[in-house]
Amino acid sequence: MATAAAISLSPSPQIRRLSASIATPIRSISSLHFDSLRSNSSSLRNPSIRVSASSMRVGTPEKISTASFLDRRESGFLHFVKYHGLGNDFILVDNRDSAEPRITPEQAVKLCDRNFGIGADGVIFAMSGVNGTDYTMRIFNSDGSEPEMCGNGVRCFARFIAELENLYGKQSFTVHTGAGLIVPEIQEDGKVKVDMGEPILKASNVPTKLPANKDQAVVKSDLNVDGVIWNVTCVSMGNPHCVTFGNQESQNLTVDELNLAVVGPKFEHHEMFPARTNTEFVEVVSHEHLKMRVWERGAGATLACGTGACAVVVAAVLEGRAGRSCTVDLPGGPLDIEWKEEDNHVYMTGPAEVVFYGSVAV
């Protein structure tokens, strides 16, 4: 498989465009910020082929038009833009001309590989809208599974759409997702505010097999995970979340001390979650300030999870630990979350940034 980005970089806003022509050995320019990159290797369809970044072009944004790059339609190549929302990173693909994703889940797994691929938590496809919406968003996780929605991903999606459509300033549009209608709004400062809709609390709809203990919801319920009793609250933001602030051994978590790689999978695959679950471990800093770490279903430990931050605030309110408007600190940075009493909707505000542009043979 040939790819455009078997590298790790943090480009400046001024120089970050990737393209695809002049062969330059990667070792000789590894310290540079890149304008564009395409590797010359074998097809993505061959599962035995490693991904390499054997050649690339270096240039400046002034010389390469973003619009012309995204408009390219060469046969056999997939053009993409890599974005991140607080370090939760995604490969964005313009898929508006097709009702099916341009790559398979198996190909997405290879592209997301951080050693032999581009490296990402998922691949997001920008597709034409259905049922009166402006656009449709689909996503393949790094393990090839398809989640209903992704909060950080939808912010990246919004910025990608604005770039594709040459939209500037404050903009909003409707997006069809597996979790239903989502409405992102790009703010004047470039951050994206997203109406994430109403949280789902009914146990069977989260879904969880844990018995409801507050109306039809699971709030501060006991969950036995490998012999440890955790207190959990279950929330769906269109995708399932299990939120915990502590266990019988430690009622108040210090999240930096958690061995997430060990405990996270035990929650994700617990028999009480028939669709598996995302899990948020939360430390209360103050009534308006929470700190969390997340183990994402299908992606593992990530630097940020937008739907998870929303679920955390809902759970904190239900357990009486925090107010309806909170700053939630994630490993990648903070998100502003508000659960409005007036309409019962959860609103998330945070950044989404371009990392680089590239092309990959498919």
- What integer pLDDT is reported at residue 249 of this predicted model? 87
Segment among 46-55, 184-193, 262-271 with least mean pLDDT = 46-55
Q: Check residues 252 and 59 and name the one with the higher pLDDT.
A: 252
Kind of pairing between the strands at 221-225 and 171-172: unpaired
Structure-derived torsion over alpha carbons of residues 178, 279, 82, 101, reported in degrees to the nearest 10: -30
Check residues 245 and 361 and name the one with the higher pLDDT: 245
The end-to-end CA distance of the chain, in Å, is 8
Q: How confident is the model at residue 70 (pLDDT cuts 50, 70, 90)?
A: low
Rounded CA gap, 186 and 168, in Å? 9
Torsion, CA 290, CA 295, CA 301, CA 306, rounded to 10? -50
Q: Residues 237, 200: contact at Cβ < 8 Å?
A: yes
* The predicted structure's pLDDT at residue 63: 44
Let me know if 156 is a catalytic residue: no
The average pLDDT across 185-210 equals 97
CA atoms within 13 A on the CB side of 20: 23
Tokens of 292: 């969390």
Q: How confident is the model at residue 123 (pLDDT cuts 50, 70, 90)?
A: very high
Q: What band does 73 get if pLDDT is binned at 50, 70 and 90? A: low
| Stretch(es) of the chain classified as CATH 3.10.310.10 | 4-197+353-361, 203-344
pLDDT given at position 250: 87
Question: Mean of the pLDDT values across residues 180-197?
Answer: 96
Number of H helices, E strands in the chain: 5, 18
At 298-307, the pLDDT tens digits run 999 999 999 9
User: Residues 112, 150, 310, 326: which is the catalytic one?
Assistant: 150
Q: Two tokens at 176?
A: 């069809």
**Reported confidence tier of residue 66, pLDDT bands at 50, 70, 90:** low
Chain centre to alpha carbon of residue 153 = 4
Closest CA to 328 of 264, 283, 295: 283
Considering only CA atoms, which of 240, 290, 299 is closest in space to residue 89? 299
Residue 76: pLDDT band with limits 50, 70, 90: confident
Coil, strand or helix at 198: coil
pLDDT at 3 over 80: no
pLDDT value, residue 53 = 39
Q: What is the CATH number of domain 4-197+353-361?
A: 3.10.310.10
Query: 197 is written with which tokens?
Result: 């809709």
pLDDT of residue 4: 39
Is residue 24 very low, low, confident or very high in pLDDT (cuts 50, 70, 90)?
very low
User: Is pLDDT of 146 > 50?
Assistant: yes
Q: What residues pair up with 135 in beta bridges, in sequence order?
A: 128, 175
Superfamily of domain 203-344: Diaminopimelate Epimerase; Chain A, domain 1 (3.10.310.10)
pLDDT tens per residue, range 202-236: 999 999 999 999 999 999 999 999 999 999 999 99
- Confidence bin at 18 (pLDDT 50/70/90): very low
Tell me what percent of the residues of the chain surpass a pLDDT of 90: 77
Residue 362's pLDDT is what? 83
Of 329, 307, 276, 328, which Cα lies nearest the Cα of 150?
307
Give the residue-averaged pLDDT of 268-272: 98
Check 112, 156, 305, 326 and give the catalytic one: 305
Considering only the C-alpha atoms of the chain, give the largest distance between any 2 of them, rounded to a whole number of Å: 63
Q: Out of 9-13, 118-122, 254-258, pick the least confident.
A: 9-13
| Mean pLDDT value across the chain | 84
Residue 358: CB atoms within 10 A of its CB come to 28
DSSP three-state, residue 181: strand
State yes or no: is 112 an active-site residue.
Answer: no
If residue 66 lies in a helix (H) or strand (E), which one and from where to where?
helix 66-70
**Res 13 pLDDT > 60:** no
pLDDT tops 70 at residue 2: no
- Token pair 């120089």: residue: 15
